[in-house]
Amino acid sequence: MPLDIGERLRSLPSGSAVALKLDPREYADHYFAVLNATLRDVGSETNVHTIYVAVTNPAAFVWSLAQALDVPIDRISFVDAISHIMMNYANSLPNATYVDSPRALEEIMLRVEYLLRKFPHPRSIVVIDSVNSLAIHNPPELLSEFFHILLNNLKSRPVLTLVLETSEEEATGVEQMLNLVVDETIDVARAGR
């Protein structure tokens, strides 16, 4: 029987950090399944607010998918670190805060912290999309420090942290680094079978 991603995420205790592995050959399907599970299934629970850190796809694109999933605008906020370098910030969202670059790791952490304080909820979800995109823009040591600080901070609070990663057949240094800071990894390809 296949694992339902939304059910699995709902069963996790507050303060959990999870890596969600997407197969690059089925990226679009896996990405939509993850958004469905995180934004609609888990994110629609009472007293939940989602903070989506957009590093791969601009916030406007993610918001259009969230609207297709009937996610209310007051249930989601964005930290967009990719629109500026993609020159895709003409239509800024009222529920988004923009960071100049995926290299601004400290600013990303500060914006996440700001949104957690601005929207205090009994349970929050932070989605980081994705570790692979952050790895393109940052050296491994700096990225490792970023995830160590951010995830340990979020684990100490009622925050479910989800980190998307595109898996390769062989484990990369990024995947090995991430495995050191997350509590568990869910392979979306296996969950969807």
What are the residue boundaries of the structural domains of the chain, listed by start? 5-191
Mean pLDDT of all residues in 56-68: 92
Position 170 pLDDT exceeds 60: no
Position 155 pLDDT exceeds 80: yes
Handedness of CA 79, 73, 63, 12 (dihedral sign): positive
Mean pLDDT of all residues in 147-167: 94
Q: Report the CATH superfamily, name and number, of domain 5-191.
A: P-loop containing nucleotide triphosphate hydrolases (3.40.50.300)
For helices 27-35 and 59-68, the axis angle rounded to 10 degrees is 70
Q: What is the pLDDT of residue 2?
A: 44
Mean pLDDT for the chain overall = 89
Position 73 pLDDT exceeds 90: no
Q: Which of 16-25, 42-51, 94-103 has the lowest mean pLDDT?
A: 42-51
Q: What is the pLDDT of residue 93?
A: 87
Position 153 pLDDT exceeds 90: yes
How big is the chain by its Cα radius of gyration, in Å?
15
More confident site: 29 or 172: 29
Q: Classify 192 as helix, strand or coil.
A: coil
* % of the chain at pLDDT higher than 90: 63
Q: pLDDT grade, residue 84 (50/70/90)?
A: confident
